[in-house]
């Protein structure tokens, strides 16, 4: 095992320095983003969400004794690098569905928008994975009993892959009807590929009946979804939604039912990260994300 990867340790009572930095960033840039007039989110989004990532990581460190940042600084930085192109995949799919648009996009050239957006998108994976690790420390998740075994049979893996291709095809052909499949199809396609390549996958856990990592990702995705939508509400530029059939009962800009997309989205990020990592890192990352008390 890589020496930079530690098995879950005992809780740590000391609040780490990066946690104080994170809290400071959140306080300063939350205030600026909601109080200044005119364009400000294009430069305020990244430090605000960097603050969130560092704060959540510090909470995980206190509760578990280790965290994504403290296990490996280089792997933590890698999350930011992989995150931006990972989110651009969903931006490409949104060209077809048009479920969200950016109010204020017109003030930037294409190049400016690409650079600024990529910097902001770089925080997505660190935020979701950090939140998922925090969720894994919750008592109700730690005490989830073993459930059905799923995913290890070759036929099952193949069927999931075919279903993913069908869902993506339906999304692209009939986007106004099947737009929710954006948040399922990518996972259904990439997870089997990870299994076939021997990459880290959720099937590694569910094939043994351990669903705690899945629940951790679901809760982590919802946590991030809440803060993304809350901080977006008084931001500018900001994203707004154009969701067919479901455009009612808004919580901030997002329709209530739209928050359901954050649940499988976290799983898609997990699959994307481990697929990309296979080709970009010489080190094993099998035990880097620790989403279950039994990881390692």
With respect to residue 168, please indicate whether it lies within any of the assigned structural domains: yes
With respect to residue 123, please indicate whether it lies within any of the assigned structural domains: yes
Model pLDDT, residue 178: 97
Residue stretches of the chain with pLDDT short of 70? 1-9, 282-284, 293-296
Q: What residue numbers bound the domain in which 171 lies?
A: 17-280
Q: How many domains does one find in the chain?
A: 1
The answer to whether the peptide bond before residue 237 is cis (omega within 30 degrees of 0) is yes
With respect to residue 159, please indicate whether it lies within any of the assigned structural domains: yes
Model pLDDT, residue 282: 67
SS3 annotation, the chain:
CCCCCCCCCCCCCCCCHHHHHHHHHHHHHHHHHHHCCCCCHHHHHHHHHHHHHHHHHHHHHHHHCCCHHHHCHHHHHHHHHHHHHHHHHHHHHHHHHCCEEEECHHHCCHHHHHHHHHHHHCCHHHHHHHHHHHHCCCHHHHCCCCCCCCCCCHHHHHHHHHHHHHHHHHHHHCHHHHHHHHHHHHHHHHHHHHHHHCCCCCHHHHCCCCCHHHHHHHHHHHHHHHHHHHHHHCCCCEEEECCCCCCCCEECCEEHHHHHHHHHHHHHHHHHHHHHHHHHCCCCCCCCCCCCCCCC
With respect to residue 132, please indicate whether it lies within any of the assigned structural domains: yes
With respect to residue 1, please indicate whether it lies within any of the assigned structural domains: no
User: For 176-218, what is each residue's pLDDT tens digit?
Assistant: 999 999 999 999 999 999 999 999 999 999 999 999 999 999 9
Alpha carbon of residue 190 to chain centroid: 15
With respect to residue 292, please indicate whether it lies within any of the assigned structural domains: no
Cα(19)–Cα(25) distance, rounded to whole angstroms?
10
With respect to residue 295, please indicate whether it lies within any of the assigned structural domains: no
With respect to residue 53, please indicate whether it lies within any of the assigned structural domains: yes
Model pLDDT, residue 294: 52
Model pLDDT, residue 8: 47
Is the full-model pTM beyond 0.85?
yes
């Amino acid at each position: 095992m890589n020496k930079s990867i530690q098995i879950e340790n005992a809780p740590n009572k000391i609040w780490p320095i990066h946690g104080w930095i994170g809290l400071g960033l959140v306080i300063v840039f939350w205030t600026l983003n909601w109080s200044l007039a005119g364009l400000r989110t294009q430069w305020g989004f990244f430090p605000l969400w960097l603050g969130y990532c560092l704060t959540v990581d510090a909470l995980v460190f206190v509760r578990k004794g280790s965290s994504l940042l403290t296990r490996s600084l280089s792997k933590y930085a890698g999350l930011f690098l992989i995150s931006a192109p990972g989110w651009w995949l969903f931006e490409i799919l949104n060209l077809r569905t048009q479920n969200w648009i950016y109010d204020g996009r017109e003030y930037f050239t294409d190049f400016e928008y690409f650079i600024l957006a990529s910097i902001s998108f770089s925080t997505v994976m660190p935020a979701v994975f950090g939140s998922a690790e925090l969720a894994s420390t919750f008592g109700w998740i730690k005490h989830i009993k073993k459930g059905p075994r799923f995913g290890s049979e070759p036929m099952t893996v193949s069927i999931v892959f075919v279903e993913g291709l069908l869902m993506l095809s339906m999304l692209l052909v009939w986007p106004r009807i099947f737009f929710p499949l954006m948040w399922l199809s990518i996972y259904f396609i990439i997870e089997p590929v990870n299994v076939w390549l021997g990459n880290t996958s959720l099937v590694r856990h569910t094939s043994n009946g351990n669903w705690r990592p899945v629940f951790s990702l679901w809760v982590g995705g919802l946590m991030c979804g809440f803060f993304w939508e809350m901080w977006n509400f008084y931001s500018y530029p900001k994203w707004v939604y154009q969701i067919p059939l479901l455009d009612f009962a808004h919580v901030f800009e997002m329709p209530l039912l739209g928050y359901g997309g954050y649940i499988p989205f976290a799983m898609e990020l997990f699959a994307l990260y481990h697929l990309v990592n296979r080709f970009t890192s010489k080190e094993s990352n099998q035990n880097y994300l620790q989403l279950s008390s039994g990881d390692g």
